[in-house]
């Protein structure tokens, strides 16, 4: 049993915080079918469709935050454009659901009819098949991220300049997708989805299934990335983050390492978008909002970057508070989020997952205060 736990932890030491987060995700994965569809579904302990939907969205956001932490927390590159890859997954799975609902029928959706089209454009071909759409999501996100990453890393774009560059790509994409003549619904996006994999999107069965799959994918990704980052690749990424020039002097080719990890992070973000859009039933340029991409970095910073599970904790806590406050006190949310960011930046620089520096400072200040009182 201990060997299995060590394998899960990806090293020779047991990380209890990591195991705690992993157990929490496992409980969510197992508990959703029981509380949403099982014997407890119609009891006060059960979950209704709205609550299940919220859990599923939070799990998708947690996967997105963990993908971001892989780049920022380990390689040291702050991305403010991960919403681009998230939107790729969301828009392409939306194309699949739209195309599937029109399979065997004549006519086109309203946003294509507005452009004067009477049939789907050629680039919609094949999207009626889920397998084709899934492969397209992985390939397109990998291709776009490779172009961005390779050009940036080869040109040695680092620090704030990389953050600005990634933000520019997501902003330009938002402007393009907001145009009505692009064939993706303009500002309104694409909606009116009916089914996915044979299940109605409005049914409780689908909501439980997609939320459970989201939690399961998050758990598998956490285990995989944990083993990846605790191995030689993880040490190499930390070396790139701390002193890339020294690694290059020692003969390491860091360009392809950074590009590969960047592409892996992008594909995980796209999968998160794939899981998220069927739950909110709309894919719009809001996914490409620069504010949303900045918010992803905020989740990671609050939870604690460089831990993977810290990003998960940050995404879960921030979004739970956001869902609650925007429902009852929406005007307070921007101020609370801003205050949380300032608190983390000033006091908890390692995030909530590692409050050690806060206690260290408190202990260092305590003797000084006692001396002042004595004098």
8 found inside a domain: no
pLDDT at 366 exceeding the cut of 70: no
User: If you average pLDDT over residues 299-314, what whole number do you get?
Assistant: 90
Cα separation, 304 vs 66, in Å, equals 11
Q: What is the pLDDT of residue 104?
A: 66
pLDDT at 65 exceeding the cut of 80: yes
Q: What is the pLDDT of residue 53?
A: 92
pLDDT in tens, 27-64: 999 999 988 887 777 777 788 888 899 999 999 999 99
User: If you average pLDDT over residues 153-172, what whole number do you get?
Assistant: 91
1 found inside a domain: no
7 found inside a domain: no
pLDDT in tens, 182-204: 888 888 888 888 889 888 998 99
Q: What is the pLDDT of residue 2?
A: 73
Please give the mean pLDDT across all residues of the chain.
86
Q: What is the pLDDT of residue 371?
A: 47
- The tally of domains found in the chain comes to 1
pLDDT at 369 exceeding the cut of 60: no
**Interior angle at CA 55, CA 216 and CA 205, nearest 5:** 75
243 found inside a domain: yes
326 found inside a domain: yes
In the 8-state DSSP scheme, what is residue 80? Answer: S
Q: What is the pTM of this model?
A: 0.90
Q: What is the pLDDT of residue 288?
A: 93
In the 8-state DSSP scheme, what is residue 71? Answer: I
Q: What is the pLDDT of residue 67?
A: 96
Percent with pLDDT over 90 in the chain? 45
Cα separation, 309 vs 311, in Å, equals 5
pLDDT in tens, 99-149: 888 876 777 888 787 877 788 888 888 888 999 999 999 999 999 999 999
Expressed as residue numbers, the domain containing 47 is: 17-374
Cα separation, 148 vs 96, in Å, equals 26
Cα separation, 179 vs 200, in Å, equals 30
pLDDT at 236 exceeding the cut of 80: yes
H helical segments located in the chain: 2-9, 16-36, 49-69, 82-101, 110-113, 130-154, 159-177, 204-229, 232-249, 254-280, 290-303, 309-328, 333-346, 356-374
Cα separation, 135 vs 294, in Å, equals 28
pLDDT in tens, 265-301: 999 999 999 999 999 999 999 999 999 999 999 999 9
Structure confidence at residue 368 as a pLDDT band (50, 70, 90): low
189 found inside a domain: yes
Q: What is the pLDDT of residue 138?
A: 96
Q: What is the pLDDT of residue 217?
A: 96
116 found inside a domain: yes
CATH assignment of the domain containing 167: 1.10.3470
User: If you average pLDDT over residues 144-164, what whole number do you get?
Assistant: 92
């Amino acid at each position: 049993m201990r060997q299995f736990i060590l394998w899960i932890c990806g090293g020779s030491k047991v990380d209890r915080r990591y195991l705690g987060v992993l157990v929490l995700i496992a409980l969510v994965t197992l508990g959703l079918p029981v509380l949403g569809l099982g014997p407890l579904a119609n009891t006060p302990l059960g979950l209704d469709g709205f609550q299940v939907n919220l859990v599923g969205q939070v799990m998708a956001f947690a996967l997105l935050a963990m993908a971001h932490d892989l780049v920022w927390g380990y390689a040291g590159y702050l991305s403010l454009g991960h919403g681009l890859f998230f939107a790729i997954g969301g828009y392409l799975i939306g194309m699949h659901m739209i195309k599937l609902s029109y399979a065997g029928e004549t006519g086109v959706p309203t946003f294509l009819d507005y452009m004067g089209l009477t049939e789907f454009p050629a680039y919609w071909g094949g999207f009626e098949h889920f397998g084709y759409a899934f492969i397209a999501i992985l390939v397109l996100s990998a291709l776009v991220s490779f172009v961005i990453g390779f050009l940036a890393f080869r040109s040695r774009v680092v620090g704030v300049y990389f953050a600005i560059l990634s933000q520019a790509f997501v902003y330009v994409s938002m402007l393009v997708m907001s145009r009505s003549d692009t064939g993706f619904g303009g500002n309104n996006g694409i909606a009116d989805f009916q089914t996915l994999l044979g299940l109605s999107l409005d049914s409780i069965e689908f909501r439980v299934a997609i939320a459970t799959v989201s939690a399961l994918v998050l758990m598998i990704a956490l285990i995989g990335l944990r083993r990846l980052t605790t191995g030689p690749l993880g040490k190499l990424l930390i070396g790139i983050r701390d002193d890339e020039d020294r690694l290059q002097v020692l003969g390491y080719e860091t360009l392809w390492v950074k590009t590969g990890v960047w592409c892996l992070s992008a594909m995980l973000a796209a999968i998160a978008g794939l899981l998220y859009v069927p739950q909110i039933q709309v894919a719009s340029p809001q996914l490409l909002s620069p504010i949303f991409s900045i918010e992803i970095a905020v989740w990671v910073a609050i939870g604690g970057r460089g831990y993977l599970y810290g990003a998960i904790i940050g995404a879960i806590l921030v979004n739970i508070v956001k869902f609650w406050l925007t429902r009852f006190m929406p005007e307070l949310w921007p101020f609370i989020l801003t205050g949380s960011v300032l608190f983390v930046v000033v006091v908890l620089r390692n995030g909530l997952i590692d409050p050690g520096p806060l206690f260290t400072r408190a202990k260092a200040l305590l003797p000084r205060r006692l001396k002042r009182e004595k004098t």
